[in-house]
Structure 1
Amino acid sequence: MESLARFRDHFRSRFSRYQDYTPLWTDAATLKQTSRRSVFRILAAVLVVLGSVSFNIYMIHKLVKRWPTPLDNYQHLNTHPLVSEEFFSTVPSPSAQENAVVTCMYTDSYATAIATLGHSLNRVNSTAARLLFYLPGSISEEALCIASATGFKPHPVSRIAPPHNGEGTHERFMDAYSKLNLWSLSDARIKAVVHLDADTLVLRNFDELFALPHNFGAVPDVYVGSHGFALEFNTGVIFARPDASVLADMREKMQTAVYDAIQADQAFLNQYFAADALRLPYAYNANLAIKKRKPEMWADLKHRARIVHYTLVKPFLAEADNSGKTPVPLDGLEQNVRNRMGEFDGAFGEELLDWLEIWKETYAQYGTVLTQCQRHGPLAPPVGESHAFGTLLLPY
C-alpha cells in the first residue's frame, strides 16, 4: 500500500505543474500580429501620401486659379479723364526748338506708314518739331521723299550695331539699336523727345508728355499668350530727355549687360532703366494685343487712346509675318489693308479701317507730292502744307 501511495504522489507531481501553465504564442499567432502591424504601417503611409498629394493639388489649384490681375479682371469703373484738365491748361504748347517727335525708318516699306503718321500728327495739332531718323545708304531717295512729305524732317544718324556682332538678335532688329541716337539730340538743344515707332498712329494730342519731369518713360508691354500684361515696357512709344553722356554710357554698358538679345534695343532699355522707368498709361501706346487679350479693356481704352500701335497686323505691309520685304505701292495700299482684315479672325478690322481712313486723308492732301516722289525723288513739302514743324539747330 505504501508503494502504491508513493506512485500516486509521483504521478500527480509530474502533471500538476501544467495546471497553472500559460501557453506561449504559436508561430501562427506571431505571424498574425506581425501582419496586423504591417497593415497599420501601410495604411499610415498611404494616408500620409494621400494627404501630401491632396495638399499639393490644393496649392497648385490656388496658384493656377489665383485671383486674376486687375487688367485681366478689367472692369468698367473709372470714367474720369486721363489727364487733369486744370493742370493741362497751365502747360504751354511744346516749343519746336526744345521738343521733338522722332520716328525711325530702316526699310523703304515703312515710308507710307511714316507719311500717314505725320498726317495723324497734323490732325491733332502737334507743335513739337519732327525728326525722321534714317541710315544713309539704307533708304532710297523715293522712300525718304514719301516719308517726309507730311512734316518729318530727315535726320541722318550713324548706325549703332548690336553688341556681340548681333548674336541672338532677331534679324528684323539688327538696326534697331540706332534708336538710341535719341539721346544724342541734346547736341541739338532738344530737352524732351517722344519717339513713335513707324507703325503707330496718333489719335489725340499728347503734348502733356513733354511736361514730364522724368528722364525716361514708356508703356508696359502686352502679349496675347501666357505672358499677358507684362512688367517690361514696350519701346514703340518712348519719352526721354536727351543727354549725350547717357548715350555714351549706354554704348559702353550694352557690351556687358546680360539680357535676352532677341528683342534688341527694347530688351536693353528694359535692363538699363529697369528700376527707373516711368510706366505710362496704356493710352499712350494702345497695343493691338490688348484688344486680343482683353476686349473689355480695349473698349474703354479706344475712347481715350492717344497713340495706337499696330503690332500684330501692320496695314501698310503685305506679308503676314510683317517682314516688310516688298514695299506696297501707293495705289495698292487700300487693297492691301482689305487683304489683311481677316487676320486674327478679323479682330482688328475696325483698327485697320481707322488707319486706312487716315491714309486716304493723307493721299488726298499730299497725293501730288507723293506721286512726284515716285517720279522725281526728294521734294520739299508744298508751300502752305508744312505746318508748324519747327526749326532745329541740327549738327549735320
Structure 2
Amino acid sequence: MSTAAPLPEGLIADRPAASDRAYVTLVTNRDYAMGALALARSIRHTGADADIVVLHTGGVEQSSLAPLSDLGCRLVRTELLDTSDDFNARHARGRLHADAPFTKGRKPAFHSPLDNFCKLRLWQLIDYQSCVFIDADALVLRNIDKLFDYPEFSAAPNVYETLRDFHRMNSGVFVAKPSLETFAAMLEMLDQPDVFWRRTDQTFLQTFFPDWHGLPVTMNMLQYVWFNLPDLWDWKQISVLHYQYEKPWEADHPKADRLRPLIDFWHAFHEGKAIPDIASLANPSGSDDG
C-alpha cells in the first residue's frame, strides 16, 4: 500500500492507491472509455504488478466507467486544466487543425485537442512514486513493469512514416514522477500569452523535457508502421501497440482494410476473447519474418 500524501484538491479517487507505481491513462469521453477497457485488460494480461489509474473528466458517463471499475482500475475524477480563454481558443479543434493541419491521418470526430493537456494531471498523482502513462488507444503486449525504474522523462520517438522522425517524441507512452512542483512549473510554461503548442501535449512535453530519454520504438509502436515501415514491425519485439489517428473501434474508417489484423487484435482484448499467441502472429508483408 502506498504511504504517500493524499491527492491534492480537485482530484477525487474511488479507492486508495494499492501500490507506489501506476499505469495511468486518460478518458474524456465514451469512445476513449472503450479504449481504456481494452488497454486495462491488456495490462492485466501481462501480469503487471502496479495500479491501473484512469483519469476521467466530467464528459464520461458512469455507465462507461463501470466496466473499468469492475476490472479493478482506480478511477480518479478531474477536470480539464484551468487555462485562459485565449489559450482555449487557440487550441480549440477547428482553430488548431486549421493552423496545424493533420496531413498524414484522420483525427476522429470525438477528438478534442484541449483534452490532451489533461495528461499533465498525472503529475498531481502524488501518492505514486513512478507512473507510466499510456494513451487509451493502445494495447500492452508484454510486461513493461521495468519502465517504472526508468528516469523522468522517458518516451519513444514518433516514428510511423520515416526513420528521420527519431528526433520527435510521441507522448502516447511516457515515464514520469508525480510532483506538485513539476506540475506548477508546467502550468506556468503552458499558458503564456500567444503560445501555440502545435501538437498539443506532445509539443509541450518535448519542450518542457528537452533532454528526454529515448525509449525504443517497440515501447510505442505506432500502427502506421504496419504499412509504412513493415520491415520495422516484429510481433516478437513489440511491447506497446498504439493506434494513432484512426481508432480500432471506429466502424469502417478510411484505413480499416489496411489495418484489419490490428483492428481484429484490439477487438479480442476489448470483448474479452481469447488472445492469440502474439509471437505466432504474421508480420506485415515486407518485414523480415512476414
TM-score past 0.5 threshold: yes
Give the corresponding residue for 2:223: 288
- Structure 1 residue aligned with 2:117, among 177, 185, 196? 177
Q: What aligned pairs does 1:300-379 form with structure 2 within 5 A after superposition?
A: 300=234, 302-317=235-250, 336=251, 339-340=252-253, 343-344=254-255, 346-361=257-272
Give the corresponding residue for 1:144: 65
Give the corresponding residue for 2:97: none
Give the corresponding residue for 1:199: 137
- Structure 1 residue aligned with 2:75, among 154, 175, 189? 154
TM superposition shift of 1:258: 7.9
TM superposition shift of 1:312: 3.4
SS in 2 for 1:222: coil
Is 1:216 the counterpart of 2:137? The answer is no
Contact 1:217 1:239 in 2 (8 A): yes
SS in 2 for 1:346: coil
Runs of 5+ in structure 1 lacking a partner? 1-94, 318-335, 365-396
Give the corresponding residue for 1:108: 30
Distance in 2 (CA, whole Å) between partners of 1:245 and 1:110 is: 29
Contact 1:115 1:148 in 2 (8 A): no
SS in 1 for 2:54: strand
Distance in 2 (CA, whole Å) between partners of 1:258 and 1:219 is: 29
TM superposition shift of 1:157: 1.9
Could you say if the C-alpha distance between residues 228 and 148 of structure 1 is closer, same or farther in structure 2, counting changes exceeding 3 Å?
farther
TM superposition shift of 1:201: 0.7
Q: Deviations over 1:102-126 (max 9, x none)?
A: 1110111222221111111111001
Give the corresponding residue for 2:178: 242
TM superposition shift of 1:175: 2.1
Contact 1:176 1:264 in 2 (8 A): yes
Could you say if the C-alpha distance between residues 257 and 222 of structure 1 is closer, same or farther in structure 2, counting changes exceeding 3 Å?
farther
Give the corresponding residue for 2:51: 129
Q: 1:150 is aligned with what amino acid?
A: L
TM superposition shift of 1:253: 1.3
Give the corresponding residue for 1:369: none
TM superposition shift of 1:262: 3.4
Looking at CA atoms only, which structure, 1 or 2, has the larger radius of gyration?
1
TM-score, normalised to structure 2's length?
0.75
Distance in 1 (CA, whole Å) between partners of 2:81 and 2:274 is: 34
Distance in 2 (CA, whole Å) between partners of 1:185 and 1:348 is: 35
Could you say if the C-alpha distance between residues 121 and 227 of structure 1 is closer, same or farther in structure 2, counting changes exceeding 3 Å?
closer
Q: What aligned pairs does 1:67-86 form with structure 2 within 5 A after superposition?
A: none
Q: Deviations over 1:281-312 (max 9, x none)?
A: 011101112223211111x3x22111100113
TM superposition shift of 1:256: 3.2
Distance in 2 (CA, whole Å) between partners of 1:281 and 1:158 is: 32
TM superposition shift of 1:96: 4.7
Contact 1:220 1:234 in 2 (8 A): yes
> How many percent of aligned residue pairs carry the same amino acid?
25
Could you say if the C-alpha distance between residues 290 and 170 of structure 1 is closer, same or farther in structure 2, counting changes exceeding 3 Å?
farther
Q: 1:145 is aligned with what amino acid?
A: A
Give the corresponding residue for 1:265: 201
Contact 2:87 2:194 in 1 (8 A): no
Runs of 5+ in structure 2 lacking a partner? 1-16, 94-111, 276-290
Distance in 2 (CA, whole Å) between partners of 1:259 and 1:237 is: 24
Q: 1:165 is aligned with what amino acid?
A: F
CA RMSD of aligned residues (A): 2.5
TM superposition shift of 1:166: 2.0
TM superposition shift of 1:134: 0.9
Q: Deviations over 1:191-214 (max 9, x none)?
A: 1000111100111000110122x1
TM superposition shift of 1:223: 4.4
Distance in 2 (CA, whole Å) between partners of 1:168 and 1:129 is: 35
Distance in 1 (CA, whole Å) between partners of 2:273 and 2:25 is: 18
